[in-house]
Amino acid sequence: MSEADKVFTGSIPEIYDTYLVPMIFETYANDLATRIVALAPQSVLETAAGSGVVARALAPQLPPDARYVVTDLNQPMLDQAASKQGVDDRITWQQADAQSLPFDDATFDTVVCQFGVMFFPDRVAGFSEARRVLKPGGHYVFNVWDQIKANEFADIVTQAAAEVFPDDPPQFLARTPHGYHDTGLIERDLGAAGFAQFTIDTPVRTSTAPTPRHPAMAYCQGTPLRNEIESRDPDLLEHVTERAAKAIAARFGEGPVTGMIKGHVIVATA
């Protein structure tokens, strides 16, 4: 993963939240919220919260006296999340690095991370920090995307971008969001971080968008793939977006489109 893979600035957070969140993140956020509510936590820490889709799903279901700390390394994304949440005295918004958390040992009942651990430069360190701040018997609940071939829109967009830049294809989506899909590696990393008990579930969902341009816009302009495209030629961002839209239309049609998405959901016990 390059440093640019972690840069969510400019218009990316708003496009991400408007296009990508309802298309692929909401369904998995609802899944995580359901799993967490079943654990009945009183104190929750979220790391790598992005634009806050899990907070919007989870907070309304937590008890009135719950404590919920929402963190992200990227302040623009955290600002976007807070702006969408509304007033909630139970929630604290705090910029924090998931690999070096500013919290005492054994502070939280649950730590949650939605599609964020793929961005950790040192995943064992991130897992170890989650375990450190969990109370004994607490739960670390997170998810990661499966390989890009199992996530149809992302795969098509990556191929379209490669056709525009055949000598130096942008690989952000395959490299980072879909680059940590090996369940054997996940198990080994959790073990190295001190987690002895965990489960891995792999639910398959569908991603629906009103037009083929919608997922093209989401991935090309609402993720750091945009940084990769613009670093090669800033004048070709719209061209790549349109090429991706045409490729999606060629496979799924010109109207509303539906593609497969697939991710792993992990619940580890401290």
Confidence of residue 1 (pLDDT cuts 50, 70, 90): low
Average pLDDT score, the chain: 94
Helix axes 213-221, 152-164, angle to 10 degrees: 70
Give the pLDDT confidence score for residue 220 in this predicted structure: 96
pLDDT digits (tens, 9 = 90+) for 62-102: 999 999 999 999 898 899 899 989 899 999 999 999 999 99
Percentage of the residues of the chain whose pLDDT score is greater than 90: 88
Which amino acid makes up residue 185?
L
Buried b (16+ CB within 10 A) or exposed e, 42-56: ebbbbbbbbbbbbbb
What does CATH list as the number for 3-269? 3.40.50.150
Q: What is the pTM of this model?
A: 0.92
| Token pair belonging to 118 | 């793929």
Which burial class, exposed, middle or buried, applies to 105 when counting CB atoms under 10 A from its CB (0-12, 13-18, 19+)?
exposed
pLDDT digits (tens, 9 = 90+) for 219-254: 999 999 999 999 999 999 999 999 999 999 999 999
The structural domains of the chain, with segments of one domain joined by +, span: 3-269
